[in-house]
Amino acid sequence: MTQDYSAEFINEMREELESRRADLVNRSRIARTDMRKRDMTPGDSIDESTDEQGTSTEMHLKDRERNLLAQINEALGRITDGDYGYCEECGEPIGEGRLRVRPMTTLCIDDKEEQERKQRRHHTKGNGMFSPTNKM
């Protein structure tokens, strides 16, 4: 299906994805090394509390990076399979500009905007205190 994109563009996207993956893996290695060093260094209770807070934040970021890494690997798989660059909703080619900015994307801009509208509507539903349907 990648006939809508030039071989040069596909190779450019593969290189970009591989570069992003290598960067994530390298940052993960550095973070693990830093965490091990901190674990070996004794500190007082304030230091330990600060370290725990920092570790919690780092773990949250690592979860996000793992998710991003999975998206990158999936995009590389789509390149290998010849399915790269097509919207998973409508099947149309995703614009090259959009792919250059976010090479792991799976939705064209129209379907992404629709997804975001649905999410906003979903989050604003309900009869909470500030809901427009709430009458005091």
Q: Quick check: 76 pLDDT over 50?
A: yes
Q: Is 136 contained in some domain?
A: no
Count the domains in the chain: 1
Q: Tens digits of per-residue pLDDT, 60-73?
A: 667 889 999 999 99
**Structure-token pair, residue 69:** 């890494």
Q: Is 41 contained in some domain?
A: yes
**Can you give 60-106 as a three-state secondary structure string?**
HHHHHHHHHHHHHHHHHHHHHHCCCCECCCCCCECCHHHHHHCCCCC
Q: Quick check: 48 pLDDT over 50?
A: yes
Q: Is 131 contained in some domain?
A: no
What CATH number should be reported for the domain holding residue 100? 1.20.120.910
Position 62 scores a pLDDT of 78
Q: Is 20 contained in some domain?
A: yes
49 lies in which domain range? Answer: 2-124
Q: Tens digits of per-residue pLDDT, 93-111?
A: 999 999 999 999 999 999 9
Q: Is 135 contained in some domain?
A: no
Weakest mean pLDDT among 53-57, 88-92, 113-117, 127-131:
127-131
Q: Is 43 contained in some domain?
A: yes
The most confident of the ranges 29-38, 58-67, 87-96 is 87-96
